[in-house]
Amino acid sequence: MGWISNLFGNKNKPVEEEHSSNSLVPGNIKAVVVSDLGNIRTNNEDMGLFFKVADEGLLREKGYMLIVADGMGGHQAGEVASRMATDIISHEYFKQNGAVEKNLAKVLALANKTIFEKASSSDTHKGMGTTCTVLVVIDKAVYYAHVGDSRAYIQKDNSITQITSDHTYVQELVNSGDITAEEAATHPKRNILTNAMGTKPDMRIDTGKCEYLLEENDRLLLCSDGLYDYLNSNEIKEILIANDIKKAADIMIQQAKARGGHDNITVVIAERKNDTAENELKSTREVQLPKITRDAELPT
């Protein structure tokens, strides 16, 4: 098994995944991860990740992975939960055989089980949990797995579409027709989760394949609620259209903070670029797995 290049974004500065391979991989994905404390919080419980295997064969088979996780729980337990989620999912997914959606559901279930067991056995981590939104890009196809209220969007030309659906009380009200999406955005109970990772033995996992293909210059955005609480989807779209991905991420963070910034803010933006020369960059961080096996202990 080859090297695995990945980056985490739980600091207060942007980091951009870079790679040094000269091999041509169709549909190269360029990405940036930015995470910020915001104006109020003293620790960052968010995690952002762009994960890419350097082994070209495995990359073609398993794709690129993007994750945002927004942890919860006192005494920095939320930070532990979000880190555990990204670590487990990004490593275990690449060991699996079978359909992408099934594999994503398995590894999210494993992350839930592991976090719940740690929370149940430790007073320090009692009650911790996290949201978790994952995208996998294989060629032009985009697959998702989702728990909680972090979000994933796809921007194509002058349009933006939310891929995931929030697991929140107000989203249930929207689904039942009791309130509109516009009313949900300002509802006093908009941040009440109905589903999270690590808070109970079982959880709901939404999985699927995006109805849109990721074409050249299309962009994917994953974010925690610290962003969309302050910027609506149209504002996010306009920033994406007008800027390169690094500048777009920086502007989004700045605007969210200028409008309040009461929570951590995490943004992962990825762009499909078929020109390999433009993406000819060096690795920021590399992790070597001892061995890729197919015997991960996953729930059936």
Whole-number pLDDT of residue 288: 34
Cα maximum dimension of the chain: 54
- The span from the CA of 160 to the CA of 155, in Å, is 4
- The span from the CA of 145 to the CA of 140, in Å, is 17
Whole-number pLDDT of residue 188: 92
Angle formed at CA 168 by CA 200 and CA 260, multiple of 5 degrees? 115
Q: What are phi and psi of 269, to 5 degrees?
A: -120, 130
DSSP string, 121-147: H-TTTTT-EE-EEEEEEETTEEEEEEE
- Sheet containing 28-36, strands listed edge to edge, beginning at the edge strand earlier in sequence: 15-16, 28-36, 265-273, 219-223, 151-156, 159-162
Domain ranges of the chain: 4-284
User: Tens digit of pLDDT for each residue in 130-146?
Assistant: 999 999 999 999 999 99
Q: What pairs with residue 143 in β-bridges?
A: 136, 209
Residues of the chain below pLDDT 50: 1-8, 10-26, 277-300
Q: What pairs with residue 48 in β-bridges?
A: 68
The residue with tokens 């952002």 is 48
Give the CATH H-level superfamily of domain 4-284.
Answer: PPM-type phosphatase domain (3.60.40.10)
- The span from the CA of 267 to the CA of 265, in Å, is 7
DSSP string, 177-245: TSS-HHHHTT-TTTT-BS--BSSSS----EEEE-SS---TT-EEEEE-HHHHTTS-HHHHHHHHHHS-H
